[in-house]
Chains A and B, each alone.
Chain A
């Protein structure tokens, strides 16, 4: 779990930025891009709080 959550968070961030890059390249349309970005956003906020900042203390 310790390694899985940061990995899922990384995938989430990819889902936020990569669809925008693909949209710029003309490979996806806008509704597809918006949908993927939303999935990435939800995944990020579901995973990041459980590992981010845990190593600060």
Chain B
């Protein structure tokens, strides 16, 4: 699917290139069982989550994410069959897309950086250099810097030179990786039973162990935000907000035969964002149970203790195969800004930037907050696309206005974007909104602003009929 995704960039996907349901099941299962899941699961435990809050929050939040893909992204994608970027260009104008690309590219760099961080923790197990703690913000030693730079340079070079080879390796690794993640959970459970002397013979016994020993709730670890059902649900729903409500995955679902193929995202949500998060959180809870003073969230040592060499391989492969396409996408986003520089140079430089970001453990250790911020910043453009497609004509306005009026910047979406992000961040800063919830009211603010500003601006400058 990755090869197909680079085609038809400025035209609708033709009927003969459409893909079946199974392609999307495989793609989403692979993409969402990634290195970062090994950070997110433990961070839930660090946030003092309880068993009921975690399980129900993930079930409902992931369901809402699947429905967002199915009811918001896929219906537009299967009607227009255009990439996000081309559709945005028609609405907002070419110059605005360059700005959007830059923001997107920077966000991708931080995400890829955290994936490199995850892989580097596996090297720490072999070479035994000091690794960062839960509340560390800066690199804490020469060994750590060298490890991140070494992995980052290799990943950057491969993303620039041989992206397709790693994309294939990622496909081969996906089924194996999903099973290793599940194995982590099973091993963690057994070790919990051994450590506590509990007898687990039924589901009720397991639930008792889960509530009283694994996800006990209570106060979060120092420096962490408390997670209840609501934070877990909102995080599970919005952590991929850029992709569903933010409409990035228009570029994926333009290949779907039917809009209901959006349901295929359930594979990624319930394997990656349910089973893998739960499995990783069990390993971290076990570490805390054995040594409450050891609060470090380090996927390498956690995985090595659970599954030995296979666990370490899983950490490296999971981090590497997911950092690779992220760096590639960031490189493409930046290349739109400097089109005269070769893709190799831009992607390699982007990869090195990601490696530098990965040296700072703050990115990975604060991943829950960063992912929420990433979704929040890109969400308003999803509201703009949604309104442009479904509501503009109904309200007597011109959809694809920049294209129709021949403008390089349409200020209605630009102002709606900046104001929405500004208002949401101000709400978070002033304590009116939690970062994990701000995107929901933010979507309606962006939609209302875009429609109101379009009404004003389109009245002033009527497009010339095509």
Interface residues of A (CB under 8 A from B): 12-13, 16-17, 19-21, 23-24, 26, 30, 33-34, 37-38, 41, 44-45, 48-49, 52-53
Checking A23, A34, A48, A53 against B186 with a beta-carbon cut-off of 8 angstroms, the contacting residue is A23
In the bound complex, do residue B168 and residue A24 qualify as a contact, i.e. CB atoms below 8 Å apart? no
A-B contact pairs, 9 of them (CB 8 A): A13-B175, A16-B183, A17-B183, A20-B182, A23-B186, A34-B307, A41-B313, A45-B172, A53-B168
Q: A20-B183, A26-B190 are in contact. Are A48 and B308 (CB under 8 A)?
A: no
Q: Tell me, rounded to whole Å, the shortest Cβ–Cβ distance linking B369 to chain A.
A: 32
Which residues of A lie under 8 Å from residue B180 when comparing CB positions? 16, 37, 41
Q: How would residues 285 to 318 of chain B score, 1 for a CB under 8 Å from any chain A CB and 0 otherwise?
A: 0000000000000000000000111100100000
Checking A12, A16, A24, A49 against B190 with a beta-carbon cut-off of 8 angstroms, the contacting residue is A24
Nearest B residue (CB) for A16: B179
In the bound complex, do residue A34 and residue B172 qualify as a contact, i.e. CB atoms below 8 Å apart? no
In the bound complex, do residue A44 and residue B176 qualify as a contact, i.e. CB atoms below 8 Å apart? yes
Q: A17-B179, A23-B190, A24-B190 are in contact. Are A38 and B310 (CB under 8 A)?
A: yes
Q: Does B189 contact A (CB under 8 A)?
A: yes
Number of interface residues of B (CB under 8 A): 19
Q: A34-B308, A34-B309 are in contact. Are A41 and B183 (CB under 8 A)?
A: no
- Assembled-state Cα–Cα distance A53/B164 (Å): 13
Q: Tell me, rounded to whole Å, the shortest Cβ–Cβ distance linking B176 to chain A.
A: 5
Q: A17-B179, A17-B182, A48-B172 are in contact. Are A37 and B310 (CB under 8 A)?
A: yes
Q: Does B212 contact A (CB under 8 A)?
A: no
Which residues of B from 166 to 196 have beta carbons under 8 Å from A?
A: 168, 171-173, 175-176, 179-180, 182-183, 186-187, 189-190
Which residues of B lie under 8 Å from residue A21 when comparing CB positions? 186
- Assembled-state Cα–Cα distance A24/B179 (Å): 15
In the bound complex, do residue A33 and residue B187 qualify as a contact, i.e. CB atoms below 8 Å apart? yes
Residue of B168, B175, B180, B183 ringed by the most chain A CB atoms within 10 A: B183
